[in-house]
Amino acid sequence: MPKLTEQPIDSQQLLCAVQTTQAGAVILFLGTVREFTNQRQTLALDYEAFAPMAIAEMERIEAEAREKWVLAKIETIHRLGHLTLGEISVGVAVSAPHRDAAFAAGQYIIDELKRRVPIWKKENWSDGSQEWVHP
């Protein structure tokens, strides 16, 4: 189930939420705030969302994944607000009877999330400048 949160993402809670004896495979993806991008140093990121649409789009992505692969449970969560180095910005957990489905679905969900879900990040560079990230 998709969620947005202003609080730190708890990876253990994500894993617990998708755990089931129906599944032989669990995949967890975590996106974290990385220090360097093309030699430029990040201090922090600010995330903003169009929340109702972000949730609706994440629900559509989860439903698409369930159509493509046999899955047990899915959790998708994105952090909003101010994140410092190393913090988790996004978490995707998928359980499935078989690992190929878990990997493929996990990658599909994070790829589509980054492509479609209305969330934006602003870089806080080490030189003091700020910059919206636009792919």
Partner 1 sequence: MNSTMIHEQVVDVQLFALARELTNVARVLLEVPVEGRPVTIADVQHALMTRFPRLASLGSKLLFAVGTQYADENTVVQPGEPVACFPPVSGG
Sole binder of partner 1 in the list 48, 63, 68, 81 (CB under 8 A): 48
Q: Which of partner 1, a copy of itself, none does residue 47 bind (CB under 5 to 8 Å by kind)?
A: partner 1
- Find which of a copy of itself, partner 1, none residue 19 binds, CB within 5 to 8 Å per kind: a copy of itself
Smallest gap, in angstroms, from Cβ of residue 63 to partner 1? 14
Among 33, 65, 74, 80, binds a copy of itself (CB under 8 A): 33
Considering only residues 75 through 94, tell me which ones interact with a copy of itself, judged by CB under 8 A: 85-86
> Minimal distance in Å, beta carbon 55 to partner 1?
8
Q: Which tokens is 126 given?
A: 């080490």
Partner from a copy of itself, partner 1, none binding residue 106, C-beta < 5-8 Å depending on class: a copy of itself
CA atoms within 13 A on the CB side of 84: 0
Q: Which does 26 bind (CB under 5 to 8 A by kind): a copy of itself, partner 1, none?
A: a copy of itself
- List CB contacts of 79: < 8 A, sequence separation 6 or more: 4, 5, 6, 7, 8, 9, 47, 87, 88, 89, 90
Distance CA 108, CA 87 (A): 22
Indicate whether 135 belongs to the interface with partner 1 (CB under 8 A): yes
What is the C-alpha separation between 43 and 126, in angstroms, rounded?
6
Cα separation, 6 vs 19, whole angstroms: 24
